Amino acid sequence: MSVRVLRGLSVTVLLALLGACHAVVLKPAGDVALQQRDLVVASTVLMLLIIVPVMVLTAVFAWRYRASNKQATYKPDWHHSTQLELVIWAAPLLIVIALGALTWIGTHTLDPYRKIDRLGAGRPVAKGAETLQVQVVALDWKWLFIYPDYGIATVNELAAPVDTPITFHITASNVMNSFFIPALAGQIYAMPAMETQLNAVINQPGEYEGFSANYSGAGFSNMRFRFHGLSEAEFRHWVQQVKADGGSLQRADYLELARPSEREPVHHYGKVADGLYDAILNLCVDPQQMCVNRMMAIDASKNSGGHADMVMNDMTMDHDTPDHADRHPE
């Protein structure tokens, strides 16, 4: 097979692959992701204002001052031009200033911890509008979603009503991961014993893909879930279905769920143990483990010369009390 034929086949295959791509990052369904897209596009255009002229002028100079062009002016003693220096330095400086301004504004406007103040361009969030609270736990190798306001939980399935602000509280069981729904917003890391947050809104109904964007072991590639953007009525129906279909997610059930597994199917839990997320966050779902927040309180008391013994005694009493499994850190 000739080189020309191979080259043609390669181009054809490449075009076919590109044609099959769904550039969700450039066509998101959530306002936060849309603003992030606009920031990337604006930054790229600003940088191209320098890159494109430089590439064009490189080709022009190479052609104009080629060895065979005897008409080109030859000035071996030329060393300075004030006008040229002004253009060379002023244009990049202005672009750097513009990029800095865009970055500063975007960093504060799109801070993942900042509450959503708009549903879209020209659509501010109404005063008193409810925010959907979702607690996210990255497990090996699956995702657990807890809806504290509804008392339900799901595994590898997430749903939210369209045009409703969402606040995600994100943590991990034991390995760092990254929570990412490209159509909704940028990725946010999930780390054990720490909580990160993401505020976002979905503007279009549909089914979107979510996954882990940080390698976390053998089952990482299958650590995916579906995110459903639903109408208010559809979301209420989905919640009722989860309550009807699901069992109960108690502490013992969570400890079993947290064991490493791959390609975990969707699970629904119609009831969730009180304070389960706080116990996960503080690494004390097992009643025999000391909660991280209490451990930190003990260390802080020791360092400040406070009543460390009193805190330790209180901690001991907590673990010795039969109803310790029902006591959770706030």
For residue 78, whether the previous peptide bond is cis, meaning omega lies within 30 degrees of 0, is no
Domain ranges within the chain, ordered by starting residue: 25-59+83-110, 123-281, 292-326
Contacts of 182 (CB under 8 A, 6+ apart): 24, 25, 28, 33, 208, 209
Residue type, 241: Q
Contacts of 244 (CB under 8 A, 6+ apart): 270
Helix orientation angle between 31-64 and 82-109, rounded to the nearest 10 degrees: 170
At 162, give phi and psi (nearest 5°). -65, 145
In this predicted structure, what is the pLDDT of residue 325?
Answer: 40
3-class DSSP state of 87: helix
CA atoms of 287 and 201, how far apart (whole Å) = 37
Which of 29, 36, 34 minimizes the C-alpha distance to 205?
Answer: 29
As a whole-number percent, the residues of the chain with pLDDT over 70 amount to 85
Supply the pTM of this predicted model: 0.81
pLDDT digits (tens, 9 = 90+) for 167-225: 999 999 988 999 999 999 999 999 999 999 999 999 999 999 999 999 999 899 999 99
Q: Are 213 and 187 in contact (CB under 8 A)?
A: yes
pLDDT digits (tens, 9 = 90+) for 224-261: 999 999 999 999 999 999 999 878 999 999 999 999 99
Task: Write down the CATH superfamily of domain 123-281.
Answer: Cupredoxins -  blue copper proteins (2.60.40.420)
Whether 115 shows a pLDDT value over 80: the answer reads yes
CB atoms within 10 A of CB 142: 26
Q: Are 280 and 173 in contact (CB under 8 A)?
A: yes
Q: Tokens for 242?
A: 């989860």
Place of tokens 């483990």: 289
Q: Tokens for 31?
A: 């306002």
